[in-house]
Structure 1
Amino acid sequence: MLKKILVKDFDKFTNRNIATNEAADPLAFHTLFIAKDTIWRNLRAKLSPVFTSGKMKLMFPLMKECAKDLHSYLNKRPNEIIETKTLMKKYSVDIISSCAFGINTDCFKNDNSEMLKMATKLVDFRSFIRSISIFSFFFLPTFVDIFKLTFADKTASDYLIDVFKTTLYEREKKKIVRNDFIDLLSNLRKTETITDSYKFDDDIKMAAQAIAFFSAGNDTTSITLSLTLYELALNKNIQDRLRQEVTEVLHEDEEFSYESIQKMKYLDMVLNETLRKYPLAPFLNRKSDVRYTFEETGFTLDKGVSVIVPISGLHYDPEYYPDPEKYDPERFSDENKKNINPYTYLPFGEGPRNCIGQRFALLVSKVALAYTIKDFLFETTNQTAVPLRFDPGSLFVQNRGGIYLKVVNI
């Protein structure tokens, strides 16, 4: 059934069932997450070349600079207890600001960074009003039109639009090239022809892509990294094995490169298991565009029905993942990976509407882990919550309160 909905009959389930209002929220209307039908198809085709491995390789030097800042920050705090979600939020805002907006936010040196404040505000669901607002986009679309709601916080998105426009103007004026997301978007606009179905003929359309990249990336990256460090602290044997792999690859290659990160198979297994145990989005959302009958069962969906794919349910089903509560990277070894049932592992979705930034997300996470695990030991303390208590009001899977770990300089 999932194969049919997400891939085989995707043309009948193209859209997410999320409300849109172009007049009130043009930013959301022109993002891949919310865009519908022809706009989504044209936008996806236009942006797909931006996220190839070749483009990620060009951004790799920017990622390394941010990972070095993370390493330097930890190096100055030997044997301290650190709240890892806040730590990794600084890293993710730094790295995505650099890659998406071409600016150095220095979050590790400046706790009052304006970009850090806006990143938190952009997708902050802690307030009751914002929670109801986001809920309405999925389940109460009439409210979106009546109250002219915006998917992202208006103050934060206006600030980021200004940052984007200023950076774009400076680049074009001074002919600066950084091989980041702004450069790639700018090149797309320059190479557009009269026959293009979708054009970046408005700065807002371009800014929408950078802001979507920024908002989708900073929380998801910081949560994934903090939860990975949490599991490594609980499972010392896994942490030791990962450190051994990173050290061996570094000894062989002498410095971290795009190629050396790709060699780290156990690092890939560790991240995959984190995303299995803690899928950031607990479900996928699709809408049936037609009346649809599943031939195998005769079950019929009416047109317009919302289809919810339970990612957490699949990831915790003992039929697919024995002892699902156990953190076990071996599930994703070359030998065991072949036995994973298709469509039971969906951290980035599946099919044409999967997460376009998957390659970027995995790479920035691997770079951070490689740089930190090499020289630092992460340990639990009496402040570490075991087990974690998740916040049911959050759009993403995250712990109530912080994740506190002791960081020991090896």
Structure 2
Amino acid sequence: MVFIATFACLLITIAILLGIFIQRRFTYWKRRGIPHEKPIIPYGNIKGFMKTRLLRDIMQEYYQKFKGCGPFVGMYFYINPAILVLDLDLVRDILIKDFNNFTDRGVYCNERDDPLSAHLFSLEGEKWRAMRNKMSPTFTSGKMKFMLPIILNVGDELLQVLSNTIEKDSVVEMKDILARFTTDVIGTCAFGIDCNSLKDPNVEFRTVAVGAFTKSRHSSIVEGFMIGFPEIARKLGLRVINDDIHEFFMRIVRQTVDYREKNSVKRNDFMGLMIELKNSGTGLTVDQIAAQAFIFFVAGFEISSATMAFALYELALNQEIQVKLRAEIDACFDKNDDHFVYENMNEMPYLDKVIKETLRKYAINVTLVRKCCNEYQTSNPNFVIPKGMLILIQSHAIQNDPEIYPDPDKFDPERFTPEEIQKRHPMSWLPFGDGPRNCIGLRFAKMQVSVGLALLIRNFKFHCCEKTPVPLEFDITNPMLASKGGIPLKVEKIKS
């Protein structure tokens, strides 16, 4: 009886303490007098996320509601207080001017129990700086030039597979075939493996890669706990990567490194450059190589393929833009004896505008995240960013703000002429972030997308058909911006 009474008292005490904790947590911004929307327990201000609403729409609505009320606004990401930045000058201060106070992304990783999670995107502090310094020489223009032939080889296969496909049916689901293209490109460059997913979409590498991007190990509530209380989560041994995915990628990297070192294999790909770093006294381990190759692959294949798919969708809707782009591409190829060379990317300014406008309208990574390292006083004396606070920069809302980009739903590459760019705030286009912690692979991404689109537009015409969704539908269950059910287009081969 005494035990039961004691246990009951313990439960009551825990319940009271939990109630106080939740009450304090969800009144964080109210107590500080910072504008915010009343949170809904336990969702905070993101009720419906990945269930009934797109994160893009939730954040854009919040951005539009509070824009103009100050440099930032308070919000709750589940139980975690966070800041949504509204002022572009403050965005520049966070990403560039005062970067040393905002070096971390606040992304959970567990290097001890989950080595694949300790990649460049999630590492913090000195570990991030050291890894970034090691990795930066890998992504120079010179190194990218060496990887171009690999992309072109896969590009030739893409053209052949698409040609064979339209012989059977002129309507092609482009999102899938482009994801297979980027899987083969990055699988070859990052792991030195001929994935062959263009020919066989069911190969193991492709199915595991898709799982790495779409299969979450935990519920969104647990993920919110890991972000809010990373030290506790690490002590509990919580991991991010699913076991099957972890085992697959670790095995592939170890086998590749072992084979190349034993047989003195030298290749001008990402894996070859990482092995050179490992053997040059930098202290890079095989586990660290695996983590960097993993994030390079997962981020690269999905974002690049989605960008190309969205671009083709817009080109199918806007035939005059497609015709103008094809004329530029044809002229560039003709000048170089029907070949694509690295310098072509600087010789096709309209293609560059098309890609930039695609990334503006379709911000695939809808939110940039940073963490405040020390208390930070903004230019407004009433707005102080506390130490440890998560900071959200809503790239999609900024890039679709009608005050910055009039008629934002219209696809207009001419927004990116030098004159138009000069008129806008430099932080008004952020698909790769900015500052010292911008996307390290942006040169590779641009090269991969440029090659893919140039080859496709030169050899095929793309049209909408009865199966093409207009307007485009998006996948609510995906935290990034992804089309729902693919992007089917009518494809017509251009006779040479």
Q: What TM-score, normalized by structure 1, do the two folds share?
A: 0.94
For 1:27-106, what aligned pairs fall within 5 Å after superposition?
A: 27-29=116-118, 31-78=119-166, 80-106=170-196
Q: In the superposition, relative to structure 1, how do residues 219 and 188 fare at CA in structure 2: closer, same or farther (>3 Å)?
A: same
Equivalence for 2:304: 221
Secondary structure of the 1:74 match is helix
Secondary structure of the 1:272 match is helix
Following the alignment from structure 1 to structure 2, what is the Cα–Cα distance between the partners of residues 248 and 57? 21
* C-alpha contact 1:131 1:393 (8 A) present in aligned 2: no
CA offsets 1:59-85 (integer angstroms, 9 cap, x no match): 000000011111111111335211111
Q: In the superposition, relative to structure 1, how do residues 325 and 128 fare at CA in structure 2: closer, same or farther (>3 Å)?
A: farther
- The yes-or-no answer on 1:211 pairing with 2:294 is yes
CA offsets 1:162-191 (integer angstroms, 9 cap, x no match): 111111111112212220011101111222
* C-alpha contact 1:293 1:300 (8 A) present in aligned 2: yes
Q: In the superposition, relative to structure 1, how do residues 86 and 143 fare at CA in structure 2: closer, same or farther (>3 Å)?
A: farther
Shift of 1:297: 4.3
More divergent stretch after superposition (367-376 vs 73-82): 73-82
Equivalence for 2:403: 319
Equivalence for 1:334: 418
Shift of 1:381: 0.9
Q: In the superposition, relative to structure 1, how do residues 71 and 293 fare at CA in structure 2: closer, same or farther (>3 Å)?
A: same
Q: In the superposition, relative to structure 1, how do residues 133 and 244 fare at CA in structure 2: closer, same or farther (>3 Å)?
A: farther
- The yes-or-no answer on 1:286 pairing with 2:362 is no
Identity %: 38
Shift of 1:131: 5.2
* C-alpha contact 2:192 2:256 (8 A) present in aligned 1: yes
Secondary structure of the 1:406 match is strand
Following the alignment from structure 1 to structure 2, what is the Cα–Cα distance between the partners of residues 148 and 330? 50
* C-alpha contact 2:465 2:489 (8 A) present in aligned 1: yes
The one-letter amino acid of 1:320's match is I
Q: Which runs of 4+ in 1 moved over 6 A?
A: none
The one-letter amino acid of 2:359's match is L
The one-letter amino acid of 1:179's match is N
Following the alignment from structure 1 to structure 2, what is the Cα–Cα distance between the partners of residues 386 and 138? 37
Shift of 1:145: 4.2
Following the alignment from structure 1 to structure 2, what is the Cα–Cα distance between the partners of residues 40 and 326? 39
For 1:171-182, what aligned pairs fall within 5 Å after superposition?
A: 171-182=260-271
Following the alignment from structure 1 to structure 2, what is the Cα–Cα distance between the partners of residues 228 and 131? 31
Equivalence for 1:237: 320
Following the alignment from structure 1 to structure 2, what is the Cα–Cα distance between the partners of residues 21 and 47? 20
For 1:103-142, what aligned pairs fall within 5 Å after superposition?
A: 103-125=193-215, 129=218, 134-138=223-227, 141=230
Structure 1 gap ranges (5+): none
Structure 2 gap ranges (5+): 1-89
More divergent stretch after superposition (15-24 vs 160-169): 15-24
The one-letter amino acid of 2:206's match is L
* C-alpha contact 1:133 1:149 (8 A) present in aligned 2: no
Q: What TM-score, normalized by structure 2, do the two folds share?
A: 0.78
- The yes-or-no answer on 1:355 pairing with 2:439 is yes
Q: Flag the structure with more relative contact order, 1 or 2, with Cα contacts below 8 A and sequence separation at least 6.
A: 1
Shift of 1:399: 1.4
Shift of 1:317: 0.9
Following the alignment from structure 1 to structure 2, what is the Cα–Cα distance between the partners of residues 317 and 181? 37
* C-alpha contact 1:4 1:10 (8 A) present in aligned 2: yes
Give the structure with higher Rg (CA). 2
The one-letter amino acid of 2:140's match is T
* C-alpha contact 1:93 1:116 (8 A) present in aligned 2: yes
More divergent stretch after superposition (129-138 vs 349-358): 129-138
The one-letter amino acid of 1:111's match is P
Q: In the superposition, relative to structure 1, how do residues 109 and 210 fare at CA in structure 2: closer, same or farther (>3 Å)?
A: same
The one-letter amino acid of 2:137's match is P
CA offsets 1:101-157 (integer angstroms, 9 cap, x no match): 1111111211221110111011114x6946556555445648844764433333123
The one-letter amino acid of 2:412's match is D
* C-alpha contact 1:93 1:218 (8 A) present in aligned 2: yes
Alignment coverage as a number of residue pairs: 402
* C-alpha contact 1:17 1:306 (8 A) present in aligned 2: yes
Secondary structure of the 2:188 match is helix
Following the alignment from structure 2 to structure 1, what is the Cα–Cα distance between the partners of residues 243 and 441? 24
Following the alignment from structure 1 to structure 2, what is the Cα–Cα distance between the partners of residues 123 and 132? 18
Secondary structure of the 2:449 match is helix
* C-alpha contact 2:217 2:240 (8 A) present in aligned 1: no
The one-letter amino acid of 2:259's match is E
The one-letter amino acid of 2:160's match is S
CA offsets 1:28-77 (integer angstroms, 9 cap, x no match): 12x11100100001101110110000000000000000111111111113
Equivalence for 1:377: 461
**Pick aligned residue for 2:470 from 386, 395, 406:** 386
Equivalence for 1:159: 248
CA RMSD of aligned residues (A): 1.8
Following the alignment from structure 2 to structure 1, what is the Cα–Cα distance between the partners of residues 93 and 342? 36
Following the alignment from structure 2 to structure 1, what is the Cα–Cα distance between the partners of residues 484 and 294? 26
Secondary structure of the 1:405 match is strand
* C-alpha contact 1:220 1:396 (8 A) present in aligned 2: no
Following the alignment from structure 1 to structure 2, what is the Cα–Cα distance between the partners of residues 144 and 231? 43
Following the alignment from structure 1 to structure 2, what is the Cα–Cα distance between the partners of residues 41 and 346? 22
- The yes-or-no answer on 1:189 pairing with 2:272 is no
Following the alignment from structure 2 to structure 1, what is the Cα–Cα distance between the partners of residues 480 and 253? 26
CA offsets 1:233-257 (integer angstroms, 9 cap, x no match): 1110111111111101011111111
Secondary structure of the 2:462 match is strand
Following the alignment from structure 1 to structure 2, what is the Cα–Cα distance between the partners of residues 290 and 207? 32
